[in-house]
């Protein structure tokens, strides 16, 4: 039986699949990255991967006038959603999924950067996010999305009421970062140095929190992905409760 394929669209080198990469390979996926702004995003149509993952990045989902490749990402995501093809969006990727489904993405009242737990909705508690119910996750965003029509809201935080949504059993958008590793965070502190300085966020404090909470997230994040992959393959409901809008 041929290997399943996954393409991950990466916007900056250090925001990669993190702990998810090993889990995908263990589940038999053949993994390839496309580098936004360098590789042709439209290759996704030609390659037609079994799973498409759109990762995070330090630009806005509304910045296509500065970064034209975002138009291609939104177009590809729109087609994937309409076709019901397995798709996962993380942070910027989740915002692009929301835009592809006609929902608004706008600046949040304040940046949400750091470690904090999620509040799962009734649907979220019955979803693949169940394993994250007691583990603080990494938040790193300045924009926020509305929940698209027909999607199901799964999670919230006090500063961001829409942290995750699902479409059917095989499309998932996560505003937060469940994929990061403690060691990998060191690259984030360097790559986002200007943003952290502008937001007056202590790198030392953020590093200490990552050391405290990172291992727990690594232990919970990959199993959450594995649960979602199983549901995406089998078509079993990702949630039993409904909060569709």
Global confidence as pTM: 0.94
Residue 103: pLDDT band (50, 70, 90) is very high
Structure tokens at 153: 């809201």
pLDDT tens across 120-132, in order? 999 999 999 999 9
In whole angstroms, what is the distance from residue 205 CA to residue 202 CA?
A: 5
Closest CA to 11 of 111, 95, 80: 95
| Count of C-beta atoms within a 10 Å radius of residue 67 | 16
The stretch 194-209 carries a mean pLDDT of 96
Structure tokens at 93: 């990727």
Q: What is the pLDDT of residue 233?
A: 81
Strands (E), the chain: 4-10, 29-35, 51-54, 87-90, 105-116, 119-120, 137-145, 152-157, 160-167, 171-174
CB 137 within 8 A of CB 233: no
Can you tell me whether residue 118 is helix, strand or coil? coil
DSSP 8-state symbol, 136: -
Domains of the chain: 4-234 (3.40.50.880)
pLDDT tens across 59-90, in order? 999 999 999 999 999 999 999 999 999 999 99
């Amino acid at each position: 039986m041929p290997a399943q394929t996954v393409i991950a669209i990466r916007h900056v080198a250090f925001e990669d699949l993190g702990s998810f990469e090993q889990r995908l390979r263990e589940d038999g996926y053949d993994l390839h990255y496309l580098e936004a702004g360098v590789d042709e995003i439209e290759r996704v149509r030609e390659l037609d991967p079994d799973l498409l993952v759109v990762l995070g990045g330090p630009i806005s989902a509304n910045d296509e006038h500065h970064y034209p490749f975002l138009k291609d990402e939104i177009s590809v995501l729109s087609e994937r959603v309409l076709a019901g093809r397995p798709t996962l969006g993380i942070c910027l990727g989740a915002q692009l999924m929301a835009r592809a489904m006609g929902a608004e993405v706008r600046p949040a009242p304040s940046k949400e950067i750091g470690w904090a737990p999620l509040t799962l909705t009734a649907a979220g508690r019955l979803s693949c996010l169940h394993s994250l119910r007691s583990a603080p996750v990494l938040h790193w965003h300045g924009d926020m999305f509305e929940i698209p029509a027909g999607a199901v809201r799964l999670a919230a935080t006090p500063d961001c009421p829409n942290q995750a949504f699902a479409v059917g059993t095989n499309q998932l958008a996560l505003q937060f970062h469940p994929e990061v590793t403690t060691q990998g965070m060191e690259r984030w502190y360097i790559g986002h140095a200007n943003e952290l300085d502008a937001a007056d966020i202590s790198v030392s404090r953020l590093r200490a929190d990552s050391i405290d909470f990172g291992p727990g997230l690594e232990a919970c994040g990959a199993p959450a992905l594995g649960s979602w992959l199983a549901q995406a393959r089998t078509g079993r409901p990702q949630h039993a409760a409904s909060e569709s809008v």
